[in-house]
Structure 1
Amino acid sequence: MVDACDVLVIGGGPAGLATAIGLRARTDLTVVVAEDRTSPTERFGETLTPGALAALDRLGLADAFRADGHLSCPGGISVWGGPRPGHSDHLLDPRGPAWHLDRRRFETRLRARAAQVGVDVRTGTRVVTTGQESGRTTVGLRGPAGRSTTLRPTWVVDASGGGSWFARRQGAVRHTRDRLVAVLRLADLEAGTFTAQTAVEATPTGWWYGSKLPGSRIVTALVADRGAAADLLRGGGRRWHEELAATTLLGPLLARVRLRGEPLRCRPVTVSRLDRVTGSGWLAVGDAASERDPITGCGIHDALLDAADAAWTIAAATGAGGQPPWRYEDRVEARFENHRQTRDALYAAERRWPAEAFWAARVPRPVAAT
């Protein structure tokens, strides 16, 4: 049996759920979200930049977000481009502070809001096939207990993350600009105090990141070349701990506290984008459209902006709203280009170790005009 729906969103992360909520706010379209995970995944060190509350307010979530216990971040401290710490703060930013996220809580709130506005959120549901039937797209889903259904959506939103499951099956090609790895430790803060600021420090191997998280936890990560991961983890992470002890900012901050740490773990960090983010009856949002380097701190905020633009684009295409004064693909391209320029400027500012492999590989490259 084939069921019709107006919009199928593949992926239930922030980009997909925000798109679904935005569509229901603008239209009466039927929206289905297919999410493979049954519960949100724990993520570490994710931050919402100043101004993100405006995006959440458009989704009807700003007040709930403030009440959910996410940790306000007053700014950052960094050792980058030289030996002296530099500071940035959000205290006078009219858009408000940044926020260290409890990612599980954040995504749970988005799921609840989506269901509240009438989105059919199907967790534990994997997208397994796509095809054409009588000139219409069909998508096969496998739900809990192996139950299979087929949907015939008018629109498909690919929010499946860096794999871009649907877009690649429509011929879109993913271009990767960089591949990194974050070797990280999550720890409970047992005694002492740790700054609410985000701490970033460049070293010859890569760059360190440390921040306090909701629930008195601290994440510490070294972002390095993927080839360095095995060496950093060898012997119980001996080299990782040695390099942390040698830092001039993060090491002393952590020396003031007592932690109960978990084992080191690795997370891939990819900078990439699709060669096209729209097609006939589909578009891609969030990481499915383009993945960011976390050094810029704009990943989730940009995903929420993608979602808002996607909802407006689909509403207009289905006759449920006025035509936006821009093209969706241009907006996504502009955000990624802004990220690229910011990233290149940051890496170019750190030239203390030009012969080290990590930094030599990230000398900004010219980008051909299109």
Structure 2
Amino acid sequence: MDRLATVSTPVYEARSAWAEPTVDHRSSLLNRYGPPLAVDRAALDELLREAAREAGVRLVRAHAKPVAGPDGGWLVPGLENPVPVVVDATGTARAVSRARLRWHGVDRLRYTIWQTRPADRLPQPWSLVEAAPDGWWYSAPTPGSERLTVMQVQDTAGRAPQLPPPRTSERLAHRSLPRPAAQRVAVVGCAGPPWTAGLVAVGDAALSVDPLSSSGLRHALELAGPASEAALGLLHGDERPADDYARAVRHAFLKHLADRQFFHAAATRYQTAAFWSHRSDLEHMRLADAQSGHRSGV
């Protein structure tokens, strides 16, 4: 926990301007787990790698290649013998599993990230999510600094980043945003199933969710146990743990789609705008397709 504190900062209140222009305030004081944490993901990943090394894991930076033939396995430069099972933890790139696992794609969103300063130097240990006609905005304290992380999420076919909506702009003292720190694409979907002989997908390679939920890391951690049991089962020729893992991923995906549908519908003031109407029109169909097992690629 001490290590985690070095790469995170607590968020004591969640604020939202979603269904109405007024701001809803939700304190974390009654949360039995304590306040949520805003995490520096790159720093957290390094901590996880360090913890794995301390547990006896050998870190090898190389590309795994499948072995042709009946015995299968994977060749990893630096290792003498083929590896029988590979775990794909390459995120939404799905570098290992993209060509081997079917994917049910639901949506693609573009998000732009800025690192900037708030309106004043006083601590702002709260997050803000705000709906806008062309998408939604999120801002929260940046771990280890006095800066804010500001994110805009919109359609991949949308225009260039827009001006922040009123509440976000007020938080920034109505200053112009600096040059974006990053622009990425968020994919909403899941592998179905997230495994095949000699391969198990984990994290975003197995289940990638809408940034609105802030649950990608939580899903990865919750499903890590079943994923490791799946990999161990495949090592010993037992596919039952892998099937259990597939059901857990599918359950998490369907719950995410239902929650996503609820929150999109709640932004009633912008339902006629293209970003929101597009998702409202297709949300029922996508959820029904996912429940029936239909799979498509995005």
Bin the TM-score by the shorter chain. 0.7 to 0.9
> What is the CA-CA distance between 1:175 and the residue it aligns to?
2.6
Which residue does the alignment assign to 1:253?
Answer: 171
Q: Distance in 1 between matches of 2:212 and 2:243?
A: 28
Instruction: Check whether the contact 1:75–1:198 (CA below 8 A) recurs between aligned residues.
Output: yes
Q: Distance in 1 between matches of 2:191 and 2:113?
A: 28
Q: Deviation per CA, 1:48-68: give whole Å up to 9, x if none.
A: xxxxxxxxxxxxxx34323x2
Instruction: Determine which of 199, 216, 228 is the counterpart of 2:146.
Output: 216
Which residue does the alignment assign to 2:63?
Answer: 126
Runs of at least 5 residues in structure 2 that lack an aligned partner in the other structure: 293-298
Q: Deviation per CA, 1:212-264: give whole Å up to 9, x if none.
A: 111222111211111224x33xxxxxxx2xx31xx2311112218x8994446
Which residue does the alignment assign to 1:365?
Answer: 284
Question: 3-state DSSP class of the match of 1:228?
Answer: coil
Which residue does the alignment assign to 2:106?
Answer: 177
Instruction: Determine which of 256, 267, 281 is the counterpart of 2:198.
Output: 281
Instruction: Determine which of 79, 87, 93 is the counterpart of 2:17.
Output: 79
Instruction: Check whether the contact 2:135–2:155 (CA below 8 A) recurs between aligned residues.
Output: yes
Which residue does the alignment assign to 1:42?
Answer: none
Question: 3-state DSSP class of the match of 2:75?
Answer: strand
Q: Distance in 1 between matches of 2:253 and 2:58?
A: 30
Which residue does the alignment assign to 2:158?
Answer: 228
Which residue does the alignment assign to 1:93?
Answer: 31
- Root-mean-square deviation (Å): 2.8
* TM-score, normalization by structure 2: 0.85
> What is the CA-CA distance between 1:336 and the residue it aligns to?
1.4
* TM-score, normalization by structure 1: 0.70
Instruction: Check whether the contact 2:198–2:234 (CA below 8 A) recurs between aligned residues.
Output: no
Query: What amino acid is the match of 1:132?
Result: A
Q: Distance in 2 between matches of 1:325 and 1:107?
A: 25
Q: Would the alpha carbon gap of residues 180 and 79 (structure 1) be closer, same or farther in structure 2, given more than 3 Å must change?
A: same
Tell me how many residue pairs correspond in the alignment.
Answer: 285
> What is the CA-CA distance between 1:356 and the residue it aligns to?
1.1
Q: Distance in 2 between matches of 1:264 and 1:161?
A: 20
Higher strand share: 1
Q: Distance in 1 between matches of 2:134 and 2:227?
A: 39
Which residue does the alignment assign to 2:87?
Answer: 157
Q: Deviation per CA, 1:22-67: give whole Å up to 9, x if none.
A: xxxxxxxxxxxxxxxxxxxxxxxxxxxxxxxxxxxxxxxx34323x
Q: Would the alpha carbon gap of residues 324 and 275 (structure 1) be closer, same or farther in structure 2, given more than 3 Å must change?
A: closer
Query: What amino acid is the match of 1:209?
Result: Y
Q: Distance in 2 between matches of 1:279 and 1:226?
A: 31
